[in-house]
Amino acid sequence: MTSELETRYYAPLVVEVTSEDEGKQIRTVLERRLGVSRKLLSRLKLTEHGITLNGRRAYTSVPVRAGDRLELYMERETSEDILAEPQELEIVYEDDELLVVNKRAGVIVHPTHGHYTGTLANGVVHHWAARGERVRFRPVHRLDQETSGLVAIAKNPYIHQQLSEQLQRDEIDKRYCAYVYGVPEPSTATIDAPQERDPDDPHMRIVTPAGYRAVTHYETAAVYGRAADGSGAGEAALVRLRLETGRTHQIRVHLLHIGCPLIGDAMYRRAADRLRPWAAAAHAAAGRHALHAERLTLTHPGRRERMTFVAPLPRELRALERVLEHMPSEAGSHSI
């Protein structure tokens, strides 16, 4: 039986019943102690060894006593529709329940129509297969193709459910850095600007009062292109941002909205910015839009610990930063 359980199921979630739970039904204890969703409970009830009480299968309506041992077994799954493909992955953290990867720019997170290979999912599935792990690809959140940085991937349904709920409650702290045209005014602020699909182009988003709530907090970390004497508004800036909501293209849309679009963003830009004398060199250095998910803080559902992960600035954005730092001082007099 042990061999079957280890092969067929993930390591069980275990609850030791205390006197505080005496007389409560199993479903109540599991919801209170582990935060297990009703959807997952319903799924476990249909599984042969899904929920056990002291080693024997049990209904969720059964009352428990102090000293009882509850175990939840989730069946192992694989992403059979995702082709395993060898790929260089930068793994920041991994255990039996959670994987955090530093995604390269240019890589799509999940296969989509027309992009069935070369995605982060293809590489992660291959990584697990090579280790002999049967795991389904469950990203907790995603990044745009040209955005680099941290992506959290749950390795079982419970971890995915718990992290998704943290995301909805704004308990996952996602921090980004961005290099932008111009300098935000004020230097630190919150952008609270609803956004929705652009009716003229469904691939794009626009700020509109009729849109969904979108909130981004930012602070300006560095200003580039001021005159030699430090005067002038500056040509470009390094901005650090924290997302309160997670709308599609939210940072890119919000930065354009305040007049400071991402350097290198071919979709959300202002035509005049590309005429700046240093723009060509900056675009050549970055090779993509200058946005990086640099910091991710979450509560690990299995370990019950608050954890922070950091992804260093990638090579191409360091090259962009050097271009901006060595911008001719006379550029500081250029108005925007």
At 4 the pLDDT is 67
Q: Are residues 112 and 231 in the same domain?
A: no
pLDDT at residue 229, as a whole number: 56
| Co-location of 196 and 264 in the same domain | yes
Together in a domain, 93 and 140: yes
139, 42: one domain? no
Strands 195-198 and 138-139: unpaired
Quote the pLDDT of residue 2: 52
| Rounded-to-integer distance, Cα 5 and Cα 254, Å | 49
Q: Are residues 114 and 215 in the same domain?
A: no
pTM exceeding the 0.85 threshold for the entire prediction: yes
Could you tell me the mean pLDDT of each successive run of 10 residues in the chain, 336 residues long?
Answer: 69 92 94 91 86 92 94 89 94 97 96 89 96 94 96 96 94 97 96 96 94 97 79 87 94 97 94 89 96 98 96 98 83 38
Last residue of a domain, one of 169, 190, 213: 169
Judge if 81 and 65 occupy the same domain: no
Is the same domain home to 188 and 125?
A: no
- Cα–Cα distance, 34 to 42 (Å, whole number): 15
Give the per-residue pLDDT at 329.
58
What pLDDT does residue 154 have? 97
CATH number of the domain to which 36 belongs: 3.10.290.10
**CB contact set of 282 (below 8 Å; sequence gap of 6+):** 179, 236, 263, 264, 320, 323, 324
| Strand blocks (E) in 42-115 | 51-53, 56-57, 69-72, 91-94, 98-103
Q: Give residue 336's pLDDT.
A: 32
Domain holding 185: CATH number?
A: 3.30.2350.10
Which of 138, 169, 200 is the C-terminal boundary of a domain? 169
Number of domains in the chain: 3
Are 211 and 141 contained in the same domain?
A: no
**Which tokens in the block code for residue 8?**
């067929």
3-state helix, strand, coil in the chain (%, to 5): 25, 30, 45
297 lies in which domain range?
A: 170-336
Is 12 in the same domain as 28?
A: yes
To the query of whether residue 265 is one of the catalytic residues in this protein, the response is no
What is the DSSP secondary-structure string of 234-282? -SEEEEEEEESS--TTHHHHHHHHTT-PBTT-SSS--GGGGGSTTHHHH
Are 247 and 314 members of one domain? Answer: yes
pLDDT at 3: 62
322 shares a domain with 178: yes
pLDDT of residue 29: 94
User: Does residue 140 sit in the same domain as residue 18?
Assistant: no
| Domain's final residue, options 72, 99, 129 | 72
Length in residues, the chain: 336
Q: What residues form DSSP beta bridges with 219? A: 188, 240
pLDDT value of residue 7: 77
Q: How many CA atoms lie less than 13 Å away from 288 in the CB half-sphere?
A: 16
Catalytic residue chosen out of the listed positions 21, 81, 96, 144: 144
